[in-house]
Amino acid sequence: MYVKEYIKIKDLKDGYLYEIIARNAKYGIWREVSKGFLISRIKFGSNYIFEEYHYDFSNFFGTAQPVKEIEQSPFQVSKNDFENSDKQYQQLMIEYLNKLEGDRSYQWPNQSK
C-alpha cells in the first residue's frame, strides 16, 4: 500500500524515528547516508535490523514512505559501518522498535505458544 502524500527525502532528519508505510514495518529510523529506514524485521523466526529504502530513492528498491515524524531516536545511525556495529547495540535498537511495532509474531496453524 502506497500513499500520495508522504515526507520527502530532503525533509527527513538523520537518526529520527518515523511512522512509515512499508513492506515489513510500521516504524523506522531514518539513515541519511543510505537513504533508508532501519527497521525491526521478523522473518522465519529471526528478528533483526533490516533497511527499507525511501520510496523516492530507487525505482527498484524503494519501499518505505514516511508519513509522520515521531522523535529523535537514541541511536547513532549515520556511520557507514553501522552493519558491523556491536550486536548488543543492534539488539537495543530491535527492542526499541519492537515496543512500537507491538506483537508481530506469527503462529503457524496447529502450533501452540
The tens digit of pLDDT for each residue in 64-83 reads 999 999 999 998 887 765 66
- Answer yes or no: is 107 within a domain: no
pLDDT in tens, 36-55: 999 999 888 889 999 999 99
16 belongs to a structural domain: yes
Give the residue numbers spanning the domain of 25. 11-101
What does each C-alpha distance from 3 to 48, 61, 91, 92 come to in angstroms?
A: 26, 17, 31, 30
CA distances from residue 109 to 12, 67, 86, 102, 112 in whole angstroms, order as listed: 41, 34, 36, 21, 8
Spell out the alpha helix ranges (H) of 1-113. 87-101
Query: Is 1 contained in some domain?
Result: no
CA–CA dist 42, 71 (Å, integer): 23
Domain assignment present for residue 6? The answer is: no
Domain membership flag for residue 64? yes
Number of domain units in the chain: 1
pLDDT score at 111? 46
Residue 2 lies in a domain: no
Residue 112, in any domain of the structure:
no
